[in-house]
């Protein structure tokens, strides 16, 4: 597997980040792009204001397993690996996924493939056919919320199940509230949040598992409300 810096080596080209917020300290940017010449990068100077202290989430043994599994799938999709260990390397790979994509749609499709590869194909189909229709989708949405909290806090940070309003006017304890999303905070890029997390996650759950889902990231305080069972207002 080629190092990320070598894989990104190539002729000068124009790279457009479709994110209104892209905040990387120069030293961090150089580690990712040191061997790649870039003619122009279009980014806004708007910043995300940091508020309060970070919630303290201690990863466990299973969290390390989930992170390594996710990273391995990401490496296969990107075609190279980062020299950085742990979460820092994961974020660098996510940035590479954005940079290597021809469009936002291409990035989203790649992220959906990564999510699908984490599950046995028959499991997704069975869930969509057998679980998703039960009680108008409420059971499936509640299961998604609880599994998300159990398996994804290593990625998002401290998260809890909460109650959300469903399209039929009822409420259900099928939501997930992320206190301060680690993925957004570490990437510091709205484009990475939207194109490698929000949109692909919404598409994955709706198309592959039959569970409509809305993610509502807050770019002011890094929180995120995840609403399984709700339809997105737009894609």
Q: What does the mean pLDDT of the chain come to?
A: 80
Q: Would you state the pLDDT for residue 155?
A: 96
SS3 146: helix
Residue 46 lies in a domain: no
Neighbours of 35 (CB within 10 A): 13
Residue 27 lies in a domain: no
Residue 180 lies in a domain: yes
Residue 158 lies in a domain: yes
Q: In this predicted model, what pLDDT tens digit does every residue of 192-211 receive, in sequence order?
A: 999 999 999 999 999 999 99
- pTM value? 0.76
Q: In this predicted model, what pLDDT tens digit does every residue of 121-178 receive, in sequence order?
A: 899 999 999 999 999 899 999 999 999 999 999 999 999 999 988 777 888 899 999 9
Residue 154 lies in a domain: yes
Domain count for the chain, please give it: 1
Residue 116 lies in a domain: yes
**For residue 85, pLDDT beyond 50:** yes
CA distance 20 to 46: 7
Considering only residues 22 and 182, tell me which one the structure prediction assigns the higher pLDDT.
182
Residue 180's domain comprises 61-228
Q: Would you state the pLDDT for residue 22?
A: 40
Q: Would you state the pLDDT for residue 59?
A: 74
Considering only residues 144 and 61, tell me which one the structure prediction assigns the higher pLDDT.
144
Residue 49 lies in a domain: no
Place of tokens 């339809």: 231
Q: Strands 159-165 and 80-81, how do they pair? A: unpaired
Residue 166 lies in a domain: yes
**Nearest CA-CA partner of 112 in 174, 29, 198, 40:** 198
What CATH number is given to the structural domain containing 175? 3.30.1380
């Amino acid at each position: 597997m080629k190092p990320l810096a070598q894989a990104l080596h190539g002729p000068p080209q124009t790279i457009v980040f479709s994110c209104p917020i892209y905040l990387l300290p120069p030293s961090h940017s150089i580690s990712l792009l040191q061997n790649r010449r870039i003619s122009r990068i279009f980014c806004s100077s708007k910043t995300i204001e940091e508020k309060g202290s970070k919630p303290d989430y201690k990863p466990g043994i299973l969290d390390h397993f989930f992170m390594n599994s996710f990273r391995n799938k990401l490496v296969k999709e990107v075609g190279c690996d980062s020299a950085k260990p742990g979460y820092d390397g994961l974020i660098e790979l996510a940035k590479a996924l954005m940079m290597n994509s021809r469009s936002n749609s291409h990035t989203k499709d790649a992220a959906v493939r990564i999510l699908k590869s984490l599950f046995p194909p028959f499991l997704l189909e069975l869930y969509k056919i057998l679980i998703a229709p039960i009680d108008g989708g409420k059971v499936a949405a509640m299961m998604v919320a609880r599994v998300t909290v159990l398996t994804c806090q290593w990625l998002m940070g401290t998260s809890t199940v909460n109650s959300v309003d469903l399209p039929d006017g009822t409420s259900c304890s099928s939501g997930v509230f992320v206190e301060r999303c680690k993925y957004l905070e570490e990437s510091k890029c709205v484009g990475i949040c939207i194109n490698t997390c929000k949109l692909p996650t919404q598409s994955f759950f709706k198309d592959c598992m039959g569970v409509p889902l809305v993610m509502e990231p807050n770019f002011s305080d890094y929180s995120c409300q995840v609403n399984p069972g709700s339809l997105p207002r737009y894609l």
